[in-house]
């Protein structure tokens, strides 16, 4: 599409073409099997790591792409277009599961966890949600209490993307339970640590190629060196910074799924003939497609604009929630219309549109529901 508020630079355009080609040629052929088996094709993490774009925003010296937030959005959009499940696994790794270490971690933590993650040699996960605590983050029940040179973690984490396959997980827990919200810290917990286990792999409606699990911590002892930021308190701010960044990327996830739905539907409408002509020639169908294209353009402009501001160091806490809210709600309309235009065939498993429809349904829920985004926006507006 031509009209975009933010024009990509030459470098970003080249990157977009490269990722698009990678997603179609390398990821595309793996999708059917990965979705059927419910397994993440983790070999692609290594391939992407070696090529330097698994974590496009981190410095080249660390093995990253040396790019910006827009490049991360481009990566996520192009991967999601082909497979939202795999893209979800990448986002949990390259964003949520590594950003706190990149931004707040010690040199030793970076060496041990971040560098191998950037190369795709270690897989990361991010554990905030609990069985009894979702939107109300300040009510977390997991605790990490100091014991000499260690912390002892007790609690559980629910719906954790990459949980079943992760080499380490960043866990949010209270170090000072009496300080609501502000007493939270983030810890790195390695696979194999006694007391840490994946209690179940969860069976989802969509995004089957992202593996999701429940994690349990029972008297799980981690060295105090694994506390991100090095001192108690401050984890809430680290969480917030991580989530703001994630909400911008979320716009790109919605875009990828929306664009895939539009492309499939536009092709289908041109091919499907009823009453002697392609259904795309009926005004009611072409108007729906026109609106879908318009919404995608707005979503892309809005996401990239916010990513651009974020890259300039502007505080975009409110805008990031607006991106997440607008894009995740708008893509529901796109997916619903896309299914409708496919008629009965859309409801058949052999047509790809059903996968995007299932995959995209959860977008209004994860990384803060639409209600949570409205709360953030209203608060930022001083309401
Ligand atoms: C596929 C998938 C992957 C996920 N990956 C991760 C992950 O990697 N790491 C992680 O930590 N979490 C992850 N999650 C969890 C996700 O972030 C939570 O599901 C989400 O934050 C909502 O929490 P909840 O499910 O407990 O819903 P609840 O918080 O129980 O909310 C239920 C409903 O009530 C509404 N609600 C709650 N409070 C209010 C209020 N004050 N006013 C109005 N409405 C309200 C909500 O908007 C929602 O509609 C994942 C979830 C899924 C489904």
* Structure tokens belonging to residue 182: 């502000």
Q: CA-CA distances (angstroms) from residue 346 to 83, 328, 337, 357?
A: 18, 21, 11, 10
Gap from CA of 135 to ligand 1 centroid (Å)? 5
Gap from CA of 129 to ligand 1 centroid (Å)? 7
Gap from CA of 221 to ligand 1 centroid (Å)? 28
| Cβ-based neighbours of 70, under 8 Å, separated by 6 or more | 6, 8, 12, 304, 307, 308, 311
Angle at 240 between CA 359 and CA 99, to 5 degrees: 70
Whether 120 and 54 have beta carbons less than 8 Å apart is answered as: yes
Whether 235 and 185 have beta carbons less than 8 Å apart is answered as: yes
Gap from CA of 126 to ligand 1 centroid (Å)? 14
CATH number, span 243-380: 1.20.140.10
Question: Does the beta carbon of 127 lie inside 6 Å of ligand 1?
Answer: yes
Domain 10-118: state its class: mainly alpha
Question: Does the beta carbon of 50 lie inside 6 Å of ligand 1?
Answer: no
Question: Does the beta carbon of 97 lie inside 6 Å of ligand 1?
Answer: no
- Catalytic member of 178, 291, 367, 380: 367
Angle at 326 between CA 325 and CA 328, to 5 degrees: 70
Tell which atom from ligand 1 comes closest to the C-alpha of 172. 11
Q: What pLDDT sits at residue 361?
A: 98
Question: Does the beta carbon of 11 lie inside 6 Å of ligand 1?
Answer: no
What burial class does residue 361 get, using C-beta atoms within 10 Å of its C-beta: 0-12 exposed, 13-18 middle, 19+ buried? Answer: middle
Burial 127-143 (b: 16+ CB within 10 A, else e): bbbbeebbeebeebebb
Question: Does the beta carbon of 302 lie inside 6 Å of ligand 1?
Answer: no
Question: Does the beta carbon of 135 lie inside 6 Å of ligand 1?
Answer: yes
Query: Is 367 marked active-site?
Result: yes
Phi, psi of 147 (to 5 degrees): -145, 95
For the chain, which residues make up each domain, given as ranges? 10-118, 124-235, 243-380
Question: Does the beta carbon of 204 lie inside 6 Å of ligand 1?
Answer: yes
Name the nearest CA neighbour of 48 among 70, 80, 83, 18: 18
Tell which atom from ligand 1 comes closest to the C-alpha of 129. 11
Angle at 344 between CA 341 and CA 345, to 5 degrees: 85
Q: Which secondary-structure segment (H or E) carries 98?
A: none
Q: Which of 368, 371, 378 to mutate to test the pocket of ligand 1 (most atoms within 8 A of CB)?
A: 371
Name the nearest CA neighbour of 169 among 232, 116, 222, 123: 123
Q: What pLDDT sits at residue 5?
A: 57
DSSP state of 259: H
Gap from CA of 132 to ligand 1 centroid (Å)? 10
Q: What pLDDT sits at residue 3?
A: 38
Nearest CA to ligand 1 atom 12: 129
- In this prediction, the residues of the chain whose per-residue pLDDT falls under 70 are 1-5
Question: Does the beta carbon of 128 lie inside 6 Å of ligand 1?
Answer: yes
Q: What pLDDT sits at residue 7?
A: 84
Nearest CA to ligand 1 atom 11: 128
At what angle are helices 84-91 and 353-360 packed, to 10 degrees?
Answer: 30
CATH code matching the domain that covers 124-235, chosen among 2.60.40.10, 2.40.110.10, 3.20.20.140, 2.60.220.10: 2.40.110.10
Q: How many C-beta atoms surround the C-beta of residue 203 within 10 A?
A: 8
Q: CA-CA distances (angstroms) from residue 280 to 275, 276, 294?
A: 12, 12, 16
């Amino acid at each position: 599409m031509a009209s975009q508020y933010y024009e990509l630079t030459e470098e970003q355009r080249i990157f977009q073409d490269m990722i698009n080609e990678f997603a179609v040629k390398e990821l595309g052929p793996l999708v059917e099997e990965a979705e059927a088996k419910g397994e993440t094709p983790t070999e692609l993490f290594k391939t992407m790591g070696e090529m330097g774009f698994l974590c496009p925003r981190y410095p080249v010296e660390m093995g990253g792409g040396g790019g910006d937030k827009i490049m991360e959005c481009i990566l996520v959009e192009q991967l999601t277009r082909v497979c939202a499940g795999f893209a979800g696994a990448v986002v949990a790794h390259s964003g949520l599961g590594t950003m706190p270490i990149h931004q707040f971690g010690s040199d030793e933590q970076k060496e041990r966890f971040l560098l191998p993650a950037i190369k795709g040699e270690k897989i990361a996960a991010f554990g905030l949600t609990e069985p009894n605590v979702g939107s109300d983050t300040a009510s977390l029940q997991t605790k990490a209490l100091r014991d000499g040179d260690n912390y002892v973690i007790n609690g559980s984490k629910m719906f954790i993307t990459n949980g079943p396959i992760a080499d380490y997980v960043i866990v949010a827990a209270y170090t000072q339970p009496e300080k609501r919200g502000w007493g939270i810290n983030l810890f790195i917990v390695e696979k194999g640590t006694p007391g840490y286990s994946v209690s179940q792999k969860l069976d989802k409606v969509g995004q089957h190629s992202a593996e999701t699990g429940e994690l349990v911590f029972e008297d799980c002892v981690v060295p105090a060196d694994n506390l991100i930021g090095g001192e108690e308190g401050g984890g809430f701010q680290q969480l917030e910074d991580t989530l703001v960044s994630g909400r911008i990327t979320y716009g790109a996830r919605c875009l990828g799924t929306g664009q895939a739905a539009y492309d499939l539907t536009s092709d289908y409408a041109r091919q499907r003939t009823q009453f002697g002509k392609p259904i795309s020639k009926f005004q009611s169908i072409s108007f729906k497609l026109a609106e879908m294209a318009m919404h995608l353009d707005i979503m892309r402009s809005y996401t990239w604009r916010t990513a651009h501001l974020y890259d300039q160091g502007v505080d975009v806490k409110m805008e990031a929630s607006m991106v997440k809210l607008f894009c995740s709600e708008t893509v529901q309309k796109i997916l619903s219309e896309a299914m409708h235009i496919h008629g009965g065939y859309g409801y058949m498993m052999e047509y790809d549109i059903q996968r995007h429809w299932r995959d995209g349904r959860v977008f209004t829920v994860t990384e803060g529901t639409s209600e949570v985004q409205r709360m953030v926006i209203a608060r930022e507006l001083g309401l």
